[in-house]
Amino acid sequence: MSSILTNNSAMVALQTMKQINKNMGQVQSQISTGMKVATAKDNAAVWAIAKVMETDQTAFKTIQSNLNVADATVSVARNGAEQITNILKEMKELAIGGANDAADHVKIETDILAKKAQITSIINASQLNGVNLLKTNPVAGETSYNVLGSLDRTNGTVATAPGNITVASANFEGGLDLTSVAAITDRATALTAIGTIEALVDIAIVGAANLGSAGKRISDQAEFIGKLSDSLKAGMGALVDADMEEASARLQALQVQQQLATQSLSIANQQPQNILALFR
């Protein structure tokens, strides 16, 4: 039955064209934004997962920056500790030189006093941004230096647990008692000073080694966080990024479909005119 009021063919062709135009809009959006899931409307589940990954990725970038600063802070203290160790070795050599009745004990004592002052200066100067790990309290009121190393997310929850890295103070300010090194005035006092300085050297070596271990841990964690951030970014891309080759091929196919749908609609709209032939 033909009708001049209802053109079923035209309605089908029109619905087909609307769907093609809708698909074209989606593909053009993918090409212009580079994303197949740009909003929650596109795919709510994937969008939600990608957003959580995005917040973690940006957080890890900030954590990595903080770890790099912490690494520099520990390196300053470690370099200071290593320098102090070398100066104490020089003091020991001076004391050994004084274990001789013919030595110039006055000159040796003068050199040792200068090196004591240099050690004190290094302890006070080995700080970065107000953090000095050679002092008793590297941060005001604290005996250690803490830095956020990671944010650990438990499966199935949105809560994160902080993973902190704690660096204990080497405490050269309190542990290296330079006043315990007696003044060298003769061979006997020089021999006494040798034993005292050896104990200080051991303290300095242990402190420098501990700072070295802490610095290695921080630098390793910074490297890991950087790789983790890159992995999260790649994961987000796999979820929301558009396949540009596929989108390009899809767009060309839709353009052909659109032309065919337009022609089909034109043919369907001409069908009622054929009824006029029945009345001629």
Residues 6+ apart with CB under 8 A from 119: 84, 87, 88, 172, 176, 178
Closest alpha carbon to 133 in 176, 87, 177, 80:
80
The pLDDT assigned to 1 comes to 59
The pLDDT assigned to 10 comes to 79
Which helix (H) or strand (E) element contains residue 4? none
Mean pLDDT for all residues in the chain: 88
Q: Which two tokens stand for residue 55?
A: 């917040």
The pLDDT assigned to 226 comes to 92
Locus of tokens 């005119």: 273
First to last CA, the chain: 19
Rounded distance between C-alpha atoms, residue 137 and residue 174, angstroms: 10
pLDDT tens, position by position, 115-137? 999 999 999 999 998 999 999 99
pLDDT tens, position by position, 161-214? 888 999 999 999 999 999 999 899 999 999 999 999 999 999 999 999 999 999
Q: Please, what's the largest Cα pairwise distance for the chain?
A: 142
The pLDDT assigned to 35 comes to 79
The pLDDT assigned to 188 comes to 93
The pLDDT assigned to 5 comes to 65
Dihedral (C-alpha) 108, 111, 116, 118: value to the nearest 10 degrees?
A: -160
The pLDDT assigned to 220 comes to 95
Rounded distance between C-alpha atoms, residue 108 and residue 90, angstroms: 11
The pLDDT assigned to 157 comes to 62
Q: Is the pTM of this model over 0.85?
A: no
Low-confidence ranges of the chain (pLDDT < 70): 1-6, 155-157, 278-280
Residue 181 to residues 12, 171, 220, Cα–Cα distance (Å) = 101, 18, 39
Secondary structure (DSSP) of 135-171: SS-SBTTBSEEEEEEEEEEPTT-S-EEEEEEEEE---
